[in-house]
Amino acid sequence: MKPVVCEIEHHAVLYGYLARRAIEAGLESRRALAAATYRYGLERGMRMADYAAAEGLPRTMPTYSLFKEWRPQRPGQNIPGESVKRPHFLTSVARCEWAETWKKYGLTPYAKTYCLYVDKALVKGYNPELELDIPANLSFGDDYCEFSWGYDRTPEIDAELKALGEKIGTKYVRDFNFHTAHLYCCIARVLRDQLGEAGAEIARASLREFTETFGEPYREALRDAAAENGWEFIE
């Protein structure tokens, strides 16, 4: 069987399926989904903190941008909007591949839970003392996503980050087999831990739906990535 490579679409759809089943199961499972989504962001942020430690860099909001674990796979998937550097650094996203995918599959009403928690949890995992504000969000009907990073992006910081970014490059970027497997394993684990067998069945049913949508090779790719990283794969 030829190996497959997941894309943002697979990551987004799998989360959407998990979220839909959890939300439709009632209040307790909606709360468990929120906790699972936040935990997923925390774990990603904690990996980023490990990368900063490996580079001997402080875990500040400016250095956070150096250790992002994914990049758009094709031009046009994520399109930046306007940004403001001073007095408070603001960035925006005019087109998001996750938001577009959720619209395509009719999953936006469920998957917006992801947007509520993941980016803020990523920052907290990187450094619990940092705080990210997200005043606008595409998934909630805004014209863009906006991120307020809470610092003054001076020319000196710009120059320092450019030099560090050239040095670090993309060595911490992971493919979407890794990211989609981590998403599934983390969300499934927390749902199971909080809801017992009912949570595990939400995960299994979502994985079956994912497999029906994309095919068995993609399920195998997630299973393989989970095994490579020592993650429990509930199926």
pLDDT tens track for 196-210? 999 999 999 999 999
Q: What is the pLDDT of residues 61-78, one digit of tens each?
A: 999 999 999 988 878 888
Would 235 be classed as within a structural domain?
no
Please give the pLDDT value at position 219: 97
Instruction: Please write down the HEC assignment for all residues of 9-40.
Output: HHHHHHHHHHHHHHHHCCHHHHHHHHHHHHHH
Please give the pLDDT value at position 1: 58
Would 206 be classed as within a structural domain?
yes
Would 234 be classed as within a structural domain?
no
pLDDT at 104 exceeding the cut of 90: yes
Q: pLDDT band at 2, cuts 50/70/90?
A: low
If you average pLDDT over residues 175-189, what whole number do you get?
A: 98
Quickly tell me which residue has 């050239």 as its tokens.
166
Q: pLDDT band at 90, cuts 50/70/90?
A: very high
Give 7's contacts (C-beta < 8 A, 6+ positions apart): 73, 176
d(CA 160, CA 5): 34
Please give the pLDDT value at position 3: 81
Would 1 be classed as within a structural domain?
no
Question: Which range (10-19, 70-79, 120-129, 133-142) has the least confidence?
Answer: 70-79
Q: Per-residue b/e over 193-221, b at no fewer than 16 CB within 10 Å?
A: ebbeebbbbbbbebbebbbeebeeebbeb
Q: What is the CA radius of gyration of the chain?
A: 18
Would 143 be classed as within a structural domain?
yes
Average pLDDT, the chain: 96
Please give the pLDDT value at position 167: 95
Domain that residue 52 falls in: 8-229
Would 3 be classed as within a structural domain?
no
If you average pLDDT over residues 106-120, what whole number do you get?
A: 96
d(CA 163, CA 54): 17
Would 116 be classed as within a structural domain?
yes
pLDDT at 57 exceeding the cut of 90: yes
**90, 95, 96, 97 alpha-carbon torsion, rounded to 10°:** -160
pTM, whole model, 2 decimals? 0.96
Would 61 be classed as within a structural domain?
yes
If you average pLDDT over residues 35-46, what whole number do you get?
A: 98
Structurally, the chain folds into a number of domains equal to 1
